[in-house]
Structure 1
């Protein structure tokens, strides 16, 4: 049974902090608890705020399924910012913040008013924000914020449209019901985060039931009770949902 949330930021509310597993990153062989998830999302939101992100601003994140991408999305949601997961970020992207793996740092020459943030290692340029360093040192407390559930929280670059907190949470609840998810469920993300339906069914859906988001390492097998897959992908053993059936 899904909990009632009105905003994406509610998924990382203080009262959700526990030692239950929230996110497993196979590439790092690391599991993050709900305590880790909530704290790190709040820290990421504070870092975004410090580098200029405000309500309604756009944050573009590399769409590879990595924990830093999920934490940043949730932190942006706390701020009322709009996340765009993108596999092909323009090197001169005019988003308020662009978040990429550190190996992609040399690709970008962002215009004034935009900030580059890199994760997974030390950036070479002094004006690039080091994700891990800043998030690690940030305060996990986040001030109360008030947003309209009808406000945009996720942007689909391909379709040039946005989805609200209410849209995303409703699609997540429907996916959770379709997959019969509960707090013991682990949902493997086998479709690109650049598709908002993947975010709804693969990230938000397990979180609304207190389950676990499972991020794969390439095509390696992943221990999960359900999976979100692209239409052309071969569904793994067990229950799965194709992104083109997600109602978003």
Structure 2
């Protein structure tokens, strides 16, 4: 696919009934849902001040965490998966998206917003991500994102849309990743390479991202490829995309 930035992987013409995401319970989501709900996530997070130049912390590894990342990406924001709990001195930090029961663990800078998912939050200043997604506008304005725009950070290194797509194309080519291939994420999303190989590369190939969560050992073989480090334990998938081989 000819994509200059990650938002090009979520455009209106790419919406169809092909499966694009599977969660840890085995529930399947098609590309129509993935694109449209990513737009909703972006529209919702915009209300929390997410925009270019700010960082959004995302806690968790399920579909809602992935939607928070994609919504942030559409707004030209930068995602930091699994951020530390002490963020008070990070002036660029704008919002934290996390399970409701985890939000209180984090010390955020003044003005940063807390966005909870899962249970309905009791605190009036906490936005409910689940409810916001379903009530938001299912469309998104046209984008023109510079490939040099930051997309991911781990607090030490920040990578751009262009770098992520270049690395993802390398994964697609090296693994011969094809449409409908299932890529099981068996490494933390806090590693940029996991996002590249387990999320962006399948989007490029029109494949399927499978989020293993805590049930990976009980599910057996669920995909064509597993994204993990070579030093990790054996995986049930017939092929491994080794994180050490991801050029980022």
What range describes the TM-score normalised by the shorter chain of this pair? over 0.9
Instruction: Give 1:184 deviation, angstroms.
Output: 1.8
Q: 1:164 aligns with which of 135, 160, 164?
A: 160
Aligned residues: 242
Q: 1:185 aligns with which of 167, 181, 189?
A: 181
| Partner Cα distance (2:85, 2:194) in 1 | 18
Instruction: Give 1:229 deviation, angstroms.
Output: 0.4
1:9 matched to 2:29: no
| Matched-pair contact (CA < 8 Å) for 2:85–2:107 | no
1:38 matched to 2:35: yes
| Partner Cα distance (1:61, 1:231) in 2 | 26
Aligned partner of residue 96 in structure 1, secondary structure? strand
Q: Which contiguous aligned blocks of 4+ residues in structure 1 show a shift greater than 6 angstroms? A: none
In the TM superposition, 1:75-224 aligns within 5 A as: 75-86=71-82, 88-90=84-86, 92=88, 94=90, 95-157=93-155, 160-218=156-214, 219-220=216-217, 221-224=220-223
CA RMSD of aligned residues (A): 1.5
- Structure 2 alignment gaps of length 5 or more: none
| Partner Cα distance (1:87, 1:162) in 2 | 13
| Partner Cα distance (1:104, 1:9) in 2 | 29
Aligned partner of residue 29 in structure 2, secondary structure? strand
| Partner Cα distance (1:115, 1:107) in 2 | 14
| Matched-pair contact (CA < 8 Å) for 2:19–2:180 | no
| Partner Cα distance (1:191, 1:108) in 2 | 23
Query: Could you report, residue by residue, the CA deviation over 1:169-219 in whole angstroms, capped at 9, with x for unpaired residues?
Result: 011111111221111200000010000000000110001111100001323
After the TM superposition, which of the residue ranges 84-93 and 32-41 deviates more from structure 2? 84-93
| Matched-pair contact (CA < 8 Å) for 1:65–1:189 | no
| Matched-pair contact (CA < 8 Å) for 2:52–2:75 | yes
Q: Structure 1 residues 20, 99: closer, same or farther in 2, change over 3 A? A: same
| Partner Cα distance (1:81, 1:164) in 2 | 11
Query: Could you report, residue by residue, the CA deviation over 1:103-125 in whole angstroms, capped at 9, with x for unpaired residues?
Result: 20232343322001111121121
| Partner Cα distance (2:78, 2:213) in 1 | 27
- Structure 1 alignment gaps of length 5 or more: none
Aligned to 2:245: 245
After the TM superposition, which of the residue ranges 194-203 and 99-108 deviates more from structure 2? 99-108
